DNA sequence: AGTAGCATGTAATGGGTTACATGATTAC
DNA sequence: GTAATCATGTAACCCATTACATGCTACT
């Protein structure tokens, strides 16, 4: 039972779904490919945490619908009683920032401008996602309260990071040019 | 050549160091254990990206000092020209938040209070780390400029996340109690 | 005598990505 | 036709953690 399995249990506790659907729904919160999810679901079925059932479809390929069992729900409750382990972030830009000093201004600007677009897209996505949520989701007790606060967290972090990139880009733009330019700088 | 190898090259471009030292210095930016770093350094030495030299010590055990080669520096420059891949965060609390609705208020409070302490410690660490940096590091061109902006980024994110936890904790405290309590709530 | 920090390594295992593989339906 | 989306699976490989293993010095 790794963290991803609990994430799948958490999704299935809300509603029975196919592996494909779970794969799509877990993406914003925990990246995982279908090749990791399908075998995990099989193992969880063996362990009696889930039950599976084939559902025929006429418009689309048939699918296997998983549902959480009472044992699965019990495990989920036990997991919720344990403290959450510390978050881990892997960001290549962080390592690149570490050797900015061996690069020129334009290379640095390209890196941060690209990341800036990424954060801007995140802000836009989470803003509209929060906007579309009903007011009930703002209350503890609502099934979507967790989703609501997670989107608020993601939005806050994206905004903070966005401000950081614009701050860095401004510093880079106002930095002295490398050499041979006798042109005056306007800042 | 994976991302971690470039991180090690980046550190070695600043100053020659032992594997043990690299392991400690890379922690704040990319988590990796010594068992991953030592074999990587050996392979990078084989690929002529690094050179190694044993240095004798009297007070502490002898150590193997690695230095970057011109080929290593070339690879580092090539890597800097490529856009940084998107950041990935894995946070168990995110998945737990997703099934807050199956839990009680106290379990939820315990989770967020613990995380709140974590962010508070991060804020404290990065504040003092930034405070100790010399003014030169605030300028592009300084060798420590990258470190400076990374710490600012980490501080901003930690503050944003800290505000988020206090916001969530307040909502939880003001939420209606589960049942059977006829005691008046004071908020 | 025991613990903590410095220092280096390997082995086993688990987590995660990429690639391989198949096949249905719908829309252009 | 062919691309896109839905749908499920396996195999190979790489990345990362835990555990195993050793040994020095300094401090209590």
At B113-129, the pLDDT tens digits run 999 999 999 999 999 99
**Phi (first) and psi of residue A141, to 5 degrees:** 115, -35
In angstroms, how far is CA A137 from the centroid of its own chain? 20
Q: How far apart are CA A140 and CA A143, in angstroms?
A: 8
* Domain end point (choices B37, B56, B81): B81
- Into how many domains does chain A fold? 2
Measured CA to C1', the nucleotide nearest A32 is C16
Residue B85 Cβ under 7 A from any strand D atom: no
Q: Is residue A154 in a domain?
A: yes
Same domain, B100 and B73: no
Residue B105 Cβ under 7 A from any strand C atom: no
Q: Is residue B178 in a domain?
A: no
Range of the domain at B122: 92-173
Same domain, B37 and B105: no
Q: How far apart are CA B161 and CA B147, in angstroms?
A: 21
The string of pLDDT tens digits covering residues B71-104 is 999 999 999 999 999 999 999 999 999 999 999 9
Q: How far B10 CA lies from chain A's nearest CA (Å)?
A: 6
Q: Is residue B183 in a domain?
A: no
CATH of the domain at B58: 1.10.10.10
The single-letter DSSP state of residue B179 is S
Same domain, A109 and A158: yes
Q: Report the residue from A81, A87, A108 with minimal CB separation from B89.
A: A87
Same domain, B29 and B100: no
The string of pLDDT tens digits covering residues A33-80 is 999 999 999 999 999 999 999 999 888 899 999 999 999 999 999 999
* Domain end point (choices A28, A56, A81): A81
Same domain, B8 and B38: yes
Q: Which of residues 27-56 of A touch strand D (CB under 7 A)?
A: 34-35, 38-39, 41-42
Span B46-73, mean pLDDT?
95
Measured CA to C1', the nucleotide nearest B17 is C7
Question: Is the Cβ–Cβ distance between A159 and B160 less than 8 Å?
Answer: yes
Same domain, A71 and A101: no
The single-letter DSSP state of residue A137 is G
Q: pLDDT tier at B176 (50, 70, 90 boundaries)?
A: confident
Question: Is the Cβ–Cβ distance between A4 and A32 less than 8 Å?
Answer: yes
Rounded to the nearest integer, the mean pLDDT of chain B is: 94
Choose among A169, A165, A145, A3: nearest CA to B157.
A165
**Phi (first) and psi of residue B132, to 5 degrees:** -80, -10
Instruction: For residue A86, give the 3-state DSSP assignment.
Output: coil
Q: How far B64 CA lies from chain A's nearest CA (Å)?
A: 23
Q: Is residue A178 in a domain?
A: no
pLDDT at A186: 53
Q: Is residue A47 in a domain?
A: yes
Same domain, A103 and A69: no
Q: How far apart are CA B119 and CA B34, in angstroms?
A: 26
Q: Is residue A158 in a domain?
A: yes
pLDDT at A187: 45
* Domain end point (choices B48, B81, B114): B81
The string of pLDDT tens digits covering residues B127-146 is 999 999 999 999 999 999 99
Same domain, A59 and A122: no
* Residue A139 predicted with pLDDT over 60: yes
pLDDT at B175: 85
Q: Is residue A96 in a domain?
A: yes
Same domain, B99 and B141: yes
Q: Which of residues 50-89 of A touch strand C (CB under 7 A)?
A: 58-61
Same domain, A98 and A168: yes
Question: Is the Cβ–Cβ distance between A77 and B103 less than 8 Å?
Answer: yes
* Residue B187 predicted with pLDDT over 50: no
Q: Which of residues 113-152 of B touch strand D (CB under 7 A)?
A: none
Q: Is residue B179 in a domain?
A: no
Question: Is the Cβ–Cβ distance between B40 and B5 less than 8 Å?
Answer: yes
Same domain, B61 and B97: no
Question: Is the Cβ–Cβ distance between B80 and A96 less than 8 Å?
Answer: yes
Question: A146 to chain B: which residues are within 8 Å by CB?
Answer: 97-101
pLDDT at B117: 96
Same domain, B102 and B74: no
Q: Which residues of A6-39 are buried (b: 16+ CB within 10 A; e: fewer)?
A: bbbbbbbbbebbbbeebbebbeebbebeeeebee
Q: pLDDT tier at B177 (50, 70, 90 boundaries)?
A: confident
Instruction: For residue B53, give the 3-state DSSP assignment.
Output: strand
The string of pLDDT tens digits covering residues A141-177 is 999 999 999 999 999 999 999 999 999 999 999 987 7
């Amino acid at each position: 039972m790794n963290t991803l399995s609990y994430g799948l249990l958490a999704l299935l506790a809300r509603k029975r779904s196919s592996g494909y659907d779970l794969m799509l729904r877990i993406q914003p919160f925990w990246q995982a490919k279908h090749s990791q999810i399908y075998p995990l679901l099989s193992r969880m079925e063996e362990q009696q945490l889930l039950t599976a059932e084939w559902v025929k479809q006429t418009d689309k390929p048939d699918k296997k619908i998983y549902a959480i069992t009472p044992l699965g729900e019990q495990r989920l409750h036990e997991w919720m009683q344990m403290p959450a382990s510390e978050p881990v972030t892997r960001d290549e830009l962080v390592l690149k920032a570490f050797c900015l000093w061996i690069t020129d201004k334009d290379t640095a600007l390209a890196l941060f401008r690209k990341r800036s677009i990424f954060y801007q897209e995140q802000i836009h996505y989470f803003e509209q996602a929060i906007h579309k949520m009903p007011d009930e989701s703002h209350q503890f007790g609502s099934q979507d309260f967790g989703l609501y606060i997670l989107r608020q967290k993601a939005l806050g972090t994206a905004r903070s990071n966005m401000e950081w990139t614009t701050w860095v880009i401004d510093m880079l733009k106002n930095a002295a040019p490398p050499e041979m330019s006798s042109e005056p700088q306007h800042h």
